[in-house]
């Protein structure tokens, strides 16, 4: 039974998985578009949306929360200065997943995850 088991394992143990998702979230924030597998995109989507919602209120507390979850200060600065005000009147749904086919080597489903 899989009661109360949330999230995807992504073929990794806990620490590498957390770092993978943090780095992927940072890339989405900095470049606003990332090409990745469907499973990774679906997993990191909720993380990015929560970060943008937190960045809508540019307080010291929100800055510290974002610094705990992102590896660099540059991404936090962009969240608070650019993305927070951009999505201030939007009530959620900041990302879009577009399917682009399968990867040549292993036929993994590939998608483009971008900010709306």
Task: Please state, in angstroms and rounded to a whole number, the distance separating the CA atoms of residues 40 and 110.
Answer: 10
Q: Where are the domains of the chain?
A: 14-115
β-strand pairing of 33-37 with 95-102: unpaired
Architecture of the CATH domain 14-115: Alpha-Beta Complex (3.90)
Query: What per-residue string of b and e applies to 3-29 under the rule 16 or more CB within 10 Å gives b?
Result: eeeeeeeeeeeeeebeeebbebbbbbb
Task: Please state, in angstroms and rounded to a whole number, the distance separating the CA atoms of residues 51 and 30.
Answer: 13
The pLDDT tens digits along the chain (116 residues) read: 989 888 999 999 999 999 999 999 999 999 999 999 999 999 999 999 999 999 999 999 999 999 999 999 999 999 999 999 999 999 999 999 999 999 999 999 999 999 99
Kindly report whether the global pTM for this prediction surpasses the value 0.85. Answer: yes
The number of helix segments (H) and strand segments (E) in the chain equals 5, 3
């Amino acid at each position: 039974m899989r009661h109360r088991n949330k999230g995807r394992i992504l073929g990794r143990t806990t620490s590498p998985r957390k770092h993978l998702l943090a780095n992927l979230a940072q890339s989405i924030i900095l470049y606003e578009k990332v090409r990745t597998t469907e499973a990774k995109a679906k997993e990191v989507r909720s993380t990015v949306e929560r970060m943008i919602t937190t960045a809508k209120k540019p307080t010291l507390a929100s800055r510290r929360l974002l610094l705990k979850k992102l590896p660099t200060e540059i991404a936090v600065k962009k969240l608070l200065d650019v993305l927070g005000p951009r999505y201030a009147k939007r009530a959620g749904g900041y990302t879009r997943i577009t399917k682009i086919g399968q990867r040549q080597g292993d036929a993994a489903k590939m998608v483009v995850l971008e900010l709306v």
